[in-house]
Amino acid sequence: MSFTTIIYLAIAVMVFASVLYNMLFKETKVVDKISCAMILVCLILRIFMIK
Amino acid sequence: MKKKGILSTCIILAIAIVCAAIAGNSFYQKRHFVEDIVTEGTNVTEVFKLSRYNKNLKGTVGDTKVYVIKGEEDGGSVLVLGGTHGNEPAGHMAAIVMLEQLKVTKGTVYIIPSINASGLTHNDPLEGSPQYMHFTTPSGEQRVFHYGSRATNPIDQWPDPDIYTHTSGQSLSGSETRNLNRCYPGIKYGTLSEQVAYAVTKMINTEKIDMEIDLHESSPEYAVNNAIVAHERAMNVAVGAKVELEDREIGMRLEPSPVKLHGLTHRELGDFTDTYALLLEVGNPSQGRFRGYTDEKLVITGEDPCYVKGYELGLLYVDYSSGNFPLSLRVARHITTIEELIASYNGSLDDEDRAIVVENWPDYQEMVDTDDLGLYLK
């Protein structure tokens, strides 16, 4: 795994954590929580290098 | 957080986890699916990996298999490349049918059915492409093959630059850096695509391969279609094949390889090796912009009402009067064109020691009439 990939994955993990935190503790509207969830699906696939 | 809020968050998260698991499993299976290409009971004499010509490919998905059918008598050699673009399945399938069917009595036929193996492990986003193609063999067994992407998988090669600068200085859009057919003659320590291209160039030079044929498909509305694209040194061979194909009522255009368009097999392999560099195109309705609903059926039957309309409006470069352009026809065109290119190459020789004699060619008309590619698989 290249250094660039490690940096990329670190950024993806941070964004994932941030979105998850917002979903759990900040967002109050259901629509916004669903938006967060959709972002999480894409991010998790990238973090695990599946897609 | 209120109790109601906790409940809704948990439900949404659970749904997201299920979606991620389903999608992730599908992508993971696709990425790790290995095609079962049969060599037992065929005339394949040797199978080796492409890393023989570029050690940097060892252990990568780019280290694809090379199948060799060598005749008892020494002679010339030809290299057939399938799967350069994973969303052009006729090339991939023609190469597989050839390696499972052909017999060589003089010379050597090298076949690489998955030259961009990485491109076969994923699909182009937003295209709605199927992941696989299924065929039933004469023994009733079902065989499954990849339907892939035009480009190398970004998991294997990333990030794309804003602008892809080829070694010739040519500039293309950044995503073309993952298009194998813009990476020739390749770079030994370059990106994965460039390393694969380098290995092919090195292989041709090392094995002194006389003719190279790269199998492609293109949208029916694209002008370079049902065509042989030939490097200037290969033009005589291509003309001879075209004439014979016309005699058999198989219309093929003849296109000269553009001198200033770099990175393509028909240009760079002709310039950087002594091989006759050729590229074949057939019309693929599952690839074009006019197409409607996209699924495996469209890939295999080539039936699309949008293309019927396009044909009526005179917008296509293929004869779509039958309302379809099936995979069996596209594969038959590829295989028969290769047969005629080899015959034309043999006819052009001063020295018959470099001839290539191949038997067991699937019959063009039979392939078209039966319209079942599974019959030509082991």
Of B1, B16, B31, the CB nearest to A41: B16
pLDDT in the model for residue B123 = 95
pLDDT in the model for residue B298 = 97
Q: Report the alpha-carbon distance of residue B213 to residue B281 in Å, rounded.
A: 11
ipTM for the predicted complex comes to 0.87
- CA-nearest residue to A30 within chain B is B8
pLDDT in the model for residue B2 = 61
pLDDT in the model for residue B3 = 64
Q: Mean pLDDT per segment of 10 residues, for chain B of length 378 residues?
A: 77 94 95 94 97 97 98 97 98 98 98 98 93 96 97 94 96 97 98 98 98 97 94 98 96 96 98 98 94 96 95 93 95 98 97 95 97 96
CATH 3.40.630 applies to domain B33-376? yes
Whether the per-residue pLDDT at A46 is higher than 80: the answer is yes
pLDDT confidence tier of residue A2, bands split at 50, 70 and 90: confident
Q: Which residues of A touch B28 (CB under 8 A)?
A: 50
Q: Report the alpha-carbon distance of residue B110 to residue B192 in Å, rounded.
A: 22
CB spacing of B12 vs A48 below 8 angstroms:
no
Q: Report the alpha-carbon distance of residue B256 to residue B230 in Å, rounded.
A: 5
Judging by DSSP bridges, how do beta strands B211-218 and B73-81 pair with one another? parallel
Overall residue count recorded for chain B in this entry: 378
Full DSSP string of A1-51: --HHHHHHHHHHHHHHHHHHHIIIII--SHHHHHHHHHHHHHHHHHHTT--
Of A8, A28, A40, the CB nearest to B16: A40
Residues in a beta bridge with B165 = B171
Which residues lie closer than 8 Å to A34 by C-beta, 6 or more apart? B12
Boundaries of every domain in chain B: 1-31, 33-376
CB spacing of A51 vs B122 below 8 angstroms:
yes
User: Scanning the structure block, which residue is given the tokens 């295209």?
Assistant: B127
User: Scanning the structure block, which residue is given the tokens 């006019």?
Assistant: B290
Contact status of A51 with chain B (Cβ, < 8 Å): yes
Of A23, A34, A44, the CB nearest to B20: A44
Minimal CA separation from B118 to chain A, in Å: 13
Q: Which residues of A touch B16 (CB under 8 A)?
A: 37-38, 40-41
Counted domains in chain A: 1
- Which chain B residues in 123-182 lie under 8 Å from chain A, judged by CB atoms? 155, 158-159
Q: Report the alpha-carbon distance of residue B331 to residue B230 in Å, rounded.
A: 19
Cα distances from A6 to residues A9, A12, A46, B177, B270, in angstroms, run 5, 10, 12, 21, 39
pLDDT in the model for residue B1 = 53
CB spacing of B23 vs A23 below 8 angstroms:
no
CB spacing of A30 vs B159 below 8 angstroms:
no
| Domain assignment of residue A23, given as a range | 3-47
Minimal CA separation from B197 to chain A, in Å: 21
| CA proximity to A23, closest of B24, B19, B15, B22 | B15
Which residues lie closer than 8 Å to B153 by C-beta, 6 or more apart? B31, B61, B118, B119, B121, B122
| Peptide linkage before B113 cis (omega within 30 of 0) | no
pLDDT in the model for residue A1 = 77
Q: What angle do CA B1, B6, B8 make, to 5 degrees?
A: 130
